[in-house]
Amino acid sequence: MGKGIWVFAEQDQGNVRKVTFEMLSEARKIADAKGEQLCAVCLGKDIVGLGDKFAPYGADKVYLVDHDLLGQYTTDAYAKALCDLITKEQPSIVLMGASVLGKDLAPKVAARIGAGLASDCIEIKMEGDSLCAKRPMYSGKAYAEITYQNADVMMASIRPNVLIASEPDASRSAEVENVTPEISAGDIKVSVVEVIKGDAGKVDLTEAEIIVSGGRGMKAAENYKMLEDLAEVIGATVGASRAAVDAGWRPVSDQVGQTGKVVSPNLYIACGISGAIQHYAGMGTSKVIVAINKDEEAPIFTKCDYGIVDDLFKVLPALTDEMKKLMAE
C-alpha cells in the first residue's frame, strides 16, 4: 500500500514552475479519492524558504531535499536523491512536469525504481485502483489511455498548461520535512560547464499563456520585430517554427514543434506558418489557435479556430494597433 501521492516540485533558483501547482491541484482530487496524503517533493540547494509554497495548492506534506550538489541540476544527483527517497517512503503515484528537466529526469527515475511511466500526459484520473493517463501519439493524430498493472509505483509526466491550477487557499498548512540526501561528487558522472540564460524576464514557452509564433513566411530575422511588438502589447511570448530557426532567424530555445518545445497556451497565434504535422505536434493542444497566412490552402487552416487569409505584413501592424486600443480601454 503506497503512502502518498507525490508531486515533484520543480524549481529554479527559488522560482517554482507553474506546472507544479497545476499538478498539485489535480493530484488533490486523486489523493482525496484514494484516501492518501498529497506530498510535494522539492530538490535544490538552500530551499528552506520554499516550504510554504505548496500547501495553498493542496499539499499535506512537503519534503525539502537540500544539498550543495543539488544547486545545479544534474540527472545523476537528482535521480539518486529522488530514488532513495521514493524507495524509503514508497508513494503510490509520482507525478512530474513534462518540462525539459522532467523529460530528462522522469525516465531515469522510473527505470531505476522499476516503475511504469506515462510521458507527456494531458489528463490523469483514477480508474479503480489504477491511475489512468491520457497522452497524444503520432504527432497528435491519436490519443492513448494508459493504465498500470501490478505497479508498486505509478509515474506520469504532465504537459505544462493542460491542467488547471486551483485558486490558492492561504489558510492551508503542510508538514515540512527537511531531508539531507546521501549523495557525493562520485555519484555525478556529468558536470555542468556553463549555463546560458535566455532573455531576462521572458516567460518560458512551455508555461506561456499566449504565444505569437512566426514561420518561414516572416521572410527575415528583422521582421520578427513585428511579432515582438504584438507580444509586448498582449503579454505574449514569441515562438518560431523549425524553418525559421534553421534559417537562423530565431534561437533554438524559441522553436515550437515535434523537435522543439511542446506548448499548450490559452492562445496561439501562428504567423506565416504552413502548419506541417511536425509543428502541429508541438502546439495542437493550445486552447485557441489563430492562423495568419496568405496561402488559403495552408494546412494550418484545417487546424485553427480562427483564420486570416491575407499578407501578414499588412495584418500584424493593424492587429497590433487594434490591440493597443483594446488594452488601453
Q: Which DSSP string corresponds to 251-291?
A: -GGGBBSTTSB----SEEEEES----HHHHHHHTT-SEEEE
pLDDT of residue 200: 61
For residues 188-216, one letter each, b for 16 or more C-beta atoms within 10 angstroms of the residue's C-beta and e for the rest, the string is: beeeeeeeeeeeeeebbbbbbebbbbbbb
Q: What class does CATH assign to 5-187? A: alpha beta
pLDDT of residue 201: 66
pLDDT tens, position by position, 107-125: 999 999 999 999 999 999 9
Q: Which residue, among 15, 25, 18, has the nearest Cα to 56 in the 3D structure?
A: 25
Between CA 144 and CA 162 the distance in angstroms is: 16
Task: Answer with the residue of higher pLDDT: 164 or 197.
Answer: 164
Task: Give 195's pLDDT tier (boundaries 50, 70, 90).
Answer: confident
Select the CATH number that applies to the domain covering 205-328 from these four: 3.40.50.1220, 3.40.50.300, 2.30.42.10, 3.10.20.30.
3.40.50.1220
What percent of the chain is modeled with pLDDT above 90? Answer: 88
To which residue does cell 534559417 refer?
Answer: 247
Residue 52 pLDDT exceeds 80: yes
Rounded mean pLDDT, 195-212: 84
Between CA 139 and CA 124 the distance in angstroms is: 20
Task: Give 140's pLDDT tier (boundaries 50, 70, 90).
Answer: confident
- Whether residue 231 contacts residue 238, with contact meaning beta carbons closer than 8 Å, is answered with yes
Question: For residue 145, which amino acid is it?
Answer: E
Task: Give 149's pLDDT tier (boundaries 50, 70, 90).
Answer: confident
Residue 2 pLDDT exceeds 70: no
pLDDT of residue 283: 95
To which residue does cell 508531486 refer?
Answer: 7
Torsion-angle region of 175 (φ positive above 0: left; ψ -120 to 50: alpha; else: beta):
beta
Residue ranges of domains in the chain = 5-187, 205-328
What percent of the chain is modeled with pLDDT above 70? Answer: 98
Residue 198 pLDDT exceeds 80: no
DSSP-derived 3-state class of residue 320? helix
pLDDT of residue 15: 92
pLDDT tens, position by position, 218-271: 999 999 999 999 999 999 999 999 999 999 999 999 999 999 999 999 999 999
Mean per-residue pLDDT over the chain, rounded = 94
Task: Answer with the residue of higher pLDDT: 177 or 200.
Answer: 177
Rounded mean pLDDT, 103-110: 97
pLDDT of residue 162: 94
Rounded mean pLDDT, 145-156: 92
Alpha-helical segments (H) within the chain: 18-34, 75-89, 100-113, 224-234, 242-246, 277-283, 312-328
pLDDT of residue 10: 97
pLDDT of residue 1: 39
Rounded mean pLDDT, 177-189: 94
Rounded mean pLDDT, 23-29: 97
Q: What is the greatest pairwise CA distance in the chain?
A: 62
Determine the distance from the C-alpha atom of residue 326 to the mean position of all C-alpha atoms in its chain, rounded to a whole number.
30
pLDDT tens, position by position, 151-169: 899 999 999 999 999 999 9
Rounded mean pLDDT, 84-94: 96
Strands 175-179, 267-271: parallel, antiparallel or unpaired by DSSP?
Answer: unpaired
To which residue does cell 511542446 refer?
Answer: 262
Q: Spell out the residues 6+ positions from residue 212 whose beta carbon is closer than 8 angstroms to its own.
A: 227, 230, 231, 234, 236, 237, 238, 239, 269, 271
pTM > 0.85: yes or no = yes
Fold agreement (5-187, 205-328): yes
